[in-house]
Amino acid sequence: MTTEAPPVVAVDRPQDSAPTTGVRAWLSRHPLAAYAIRRFGLYLVELWGALTIAFFFFRLMPGDPIQTLIQTLQQNYIYNQQASAEIIARYQHEFGLDGNFFSQYLKYMEKLVLHGDLGPSLINYPTPAQDVILRALPWTIGLLGISAVLAWVFGIIIGAVAGWRRGKLGSSVATNLSIALSHVPYFFIALILVYVFAYSLGMLPARSAYDSRIEPGLSPDFIGSVLKYGLLPGLSIVIIGTFSWILSTRMLMVPVLGEDYLVYAEAKGLKGWRILTRYALRNCYLPQITAFGISLGFIFNGNVLVEQLFNYPGLGTTLVTAIQQLDFNTILGVTNIAIFSVLTAVLILDLLLPLLDPRVKYWK
Amino acid sequence: MSEQAVLEVSGLEVTYSTNRGDVRAVQGLDLSVRRGEILGVAGESGSGKSTLAVALLRLLKPPGKVTAGSAIFHPKGRSPVDLLKVEGEELRVLRWSALSYLPQGSQSSLNPVMRVEDQFRDVILEHAPQRKEALSELIHRLLAQVGLEPRVTRMHPHELSGGMKQRVLMAICVALEPDLVIADEPTTALDVTIQRVILQSLADLRDDFGVTLMVISHDMGVHAQLADRVAVMYEGRLVEVGDVHQVFKDPRHEYTRQLIESIPRVGRRAS
């Protein structure tokens, strides 16, 4: 054999032809920072756009909330006298409904952005709408947030194993069960759970968020009661969610199992679980992260049904009550929370994805 | 070079079951690989040479099935085993430390989401955890052996060219100084200048690490340049085995002669 050494392979270095000083130069030297700044700017624009659309959308809805309020007051306090124009004007000012749309909008944005103030809630007057929302928010995050995360984690794990062991009995059972159950309406499972555990067995409560005889606080009794009351609504979300995540994870997993690098990993003599996690799952879970971010938005849609069904004091119940009473400020507030969470989740995911998968690159 | 065999294959039969009947991809194959040699396996597409490789590596997937034969493997410091019978943990431990695999670099055999160094790290630590201390030096040395700079360790596969990927795979396959490396089309889909460099590196690896190489290739030019002995397969059967000079000079089988004739030469036109 000849002794000629193989030449050292040179790797192309990116050519810097950009200016060497100033902001532009700094940005061209730090593409990741430049990307993050640009992405954050886009986020602010999206946020502003969505909040603005939501504002005008609700302002253009038919119905007069002040009239509704006055009627409610009349019914409740047997207040027979016709509301004077003065009272109506006062209320309109209180609720930010005076003047034209544009001046209403400016006042609304100023209060929202500078003070985080949504104005008073109509049905809980004079409590500010943000207080009504903040009171409900922990319940929603606690119940739906935790359930959604649990469903995702269980779904990914079971789905990955089901894909990995495809053709085996356990995998077929999990897969077929998922196909059958992932599209069953949520409330159907909830009703079965309520029937079995709350009605027939009487083991678990089916309504409310905690035992009203216990003083709310950080006591073990109260926490235990919250967990107990949250079990049925939580379980019904976790079950349906898990099955749909199983199905999608398995579908992502199976094509990856045919890849050359899986054959290579097997030839390397690595342990099965390591091949499953580092080679198979690591290459297919990325779409599930994006899907999870998007599914967070559905927490704010889907929760209406869950919370109504279990009479849970979360955002969904707040929203339904607010819509029935035309409580503009609260409706807008809940909508804003949904807008904010989805946009923020997508922002975080966009910034996170390049770290999770080296092939993802948004910047040049 | 000792004449002791590192692998003795006898009566190997591999069948693919299809719904139009069985296809016998490898039939009654007897072959021995001597320690320290480079054995070329030649043959056209569909001759069964790749099936032979995956069967020996135990990477054969259904509907492929080994229906008969044995492949006695003699790893250093271990008792001989039949590669076709060994199962489970015993097989897993044998892999890479005794029997490793060099796939085609144009295939996506490297995990796209792992850095090059981690693809060395996992297999080395799996089979030789005691090397943890000097691991990065070992990886740098292995990469230098195939002509790659140390900073390749921090790169991901999509940042490497086809030739670089092939070199990384070569460095990984000798990391644990296995008794036998089975290379499946190591130069296919690379341009001819890189092919030459890869072949040279493979020859150097044999000289430096003393590994035994079984090189599967349809390209007779590869065998002429690299192999000590050549085995020629045709329609699932071994038609000829012999010293590379002897086979090229005086092919005994008509098919071998045709294969050698098929090497393109400058100045000769296809008729």
Nearest CA of chain B to the CA of A267: how many Å? 6
Residue A233 within a domain? yes
Q: Count CB atoms within 10 A of the CB of residue B31.
A: 21
pLDDT tens digits, one per residue of A292-310:
887 876 676 656 788 888 8
> A279 vs B111: CB contact, 8 Å cut-off?
yes
Residue A164 within a domain? yes
CB of B156 within 8 Å of a chain A CB? The answer is yes
pLDDT at A161 over 80: yes
CB of B114 within 8 Å of a chain A CB? The answer is yes
- Tell which wins on pLDDT, B231 or A167: B231
Residue A354: predicted pLDDT: 80
Nearest CA of chain A to the CA of B197: how many Å? 6
Per DSSP bridges, beta strands B81-82 and B99-102 are unpaired
The total of structural domains in chain A comes to 1
Nearest CA of chain B to the CA of A30: how many Å? 19
> B200 vs A269: CB contact, 8 Å cut-off?
no
Give the model's confidence band at A158: pLDDT under 50 very low, under 70 low, under 90 confident, else very high: very high
Residue A86 within a domain? no
Mutate one of A2, A4, A9 to test the B interface: name it (highest B CB count within 10 A): A9
Nearest CA of chain A to the CA of B223: how many Å? 14
Nearest CB to B126: which of A263, A270, A357? A270
Most confident of A199-213, A221-235, B23-37: B23-37
Q: Which domains does chain B have, with CATH numbers?
A: 5-106+179-261 (3.40.50.300)
B chain contacts of residue A264, beta-carbon cutoff 8 Å: 101, 103, 109-111
- Residue at token pair 């009661």: A225
> A2 vs B114: CB contact, 8 Å cut-off?
no
Residues constituting chain A = 364
Nearest CB to B123: which of A7, A268, A283? A268
> Residue B145: closest CA among chain A residues belongs to which residue?
A6
> A9 vs B109: CB contact, 8 Å cut-off?
no
Nearest CB to A261: which of B111, B148, B167? B111
Residue A83: predicted pLDDT: 58
Residue A347 within a domain? no
| ipTM rounded to 2 decimals | 0.89
Q: Mean pLDDT over residues A238-253, rounded? A: 90
Residue A291 in tokens: 């899907």
A chain contacts of residue B152, beta-carbon cutoff 8 Å: 11
pLDDT at A7 over 60: no
Which pairs with CB-CB distance under 8 Å and at least 24 residues apart come from B71-74? B71/B7, B71/B8, B71/B9, B71/B10, B71/B12, B72/B7, B72/B8, B72/B10, B73/B6, B73/B7, B73/B98, B73/B99, B73/B179, B73/B180, B74/B4, B74/B5, B74/B6, B74/B7, B74/B35, B74/B179
Q: What is the CATH number of the domain that holds A156?
A: 1.10.3720.10
CB of B196 within 8 Å of a chain A CB? The answer is no
Distance from C-alpha of A234 to C-alpha of A314, rounded to nearest angstrom: 13
Mean pLDDT of chain B: 87
Alpha helices in A30-145 (DSSP H): 31-59, 65-77, 85-94, 101-115, 129-140
Give the model's confidence band at A353: pLDDT under 50 very low, under 70 low, under 90 confident, else very high: confident
Give the model's confidence band at A3: pLDDT under 50 very low, under 70 low, under 90 confident, else very high: very low
Alpha carbon distances (Å) from B258 to A143, A229, B39, B101, B232: 74, 81, 20, 29, 11
> Residue B194: closest CA among chain A residues belongs to which residue?
A6
CB of B17 within 8 Å of a chain A CB? The answer is no
Give the model's confidence band at A204: pLDDT under 50 very low, under 70 low, under 90 confident, else very high: confident
pLDDT tens digits, one per residue of A57-92:
888 877 777 777 777 766 666 555 565 677 777 777
Among B143, B127, B146, B124, which residue's Cα sits nearest to residue B135?
B124
Residue A82: predicted pLDDT: 60
Q: Count CB atoms within 10 A of the CB of residue A4.
A: 10
CB of B120 within 8 Å of a chain A CB? The answer is no
CB of B78 within 8 Å of a chain A CB? The answer is no
> B107 vs A278: CB contact, 8 Å cut-off?
no
Residue A274 in tokens: 């390591």
User: Count of A–B CB contacts within 8 Å?
Assistant: 101
Residue A30 within a domain? no
Residue A294: predicted pLDDT: 79
Residue A35 within a domain? no
Nearest CA of chain A to the CA of B222: how many Å? 14
- Per-residue pLDDT of chain B in tens (271 residues, 90 and over written 9): 445 889 999 999 999 998 888 888 888 889 999 988 999 998 888 888 889 999 999 988 888 888 888 899 988 888 888 888 888 888 898 899 899 999 886 778 999 989 999 999 999 999 888 888 888 899 998 898 888 899 999 999 988 888 889 889 988 988 888 899 999 988 887 888 888 888 888 888 888 888 899 999 988 888 888 889 999 998 888 888 988 888 888 888 888 888 888 887 787 666 5
Alpha helices in B27-115 (DSSP H): 49-56, 88-94
- In terms of phi and psi (left: phi > 0; alpha: psi -120 to 50; beta: otherwise), the region of B257 is alpha
> A267 vs B111: CB contact, 8 Å cut-off?
no
Q: Mean pLDDT over residues A154-176, rounded? A: 89
Residue A51 within a domain? no
Q: What percent of chain A has pLDDT over 90?
A: 13
Residue B206: predicted pLDDT: 84
Q: What is the DSSP letter of A316?
A: H
> A268 vs B126: CB contact, 8 Å cut-off?
yes
Residue B267: predicted pLDDT: 75
pLDDT at A44 over 90: yes
Residue A47: predicted pLDDT: 93
Using CB atoms within 10 Å of the CB of residue B139, give its burial: 0 to 12 exposed, 13 to 18 middle, 19+ buried: buried
> Structural domain of residue A214, as residue ranges?
138-325
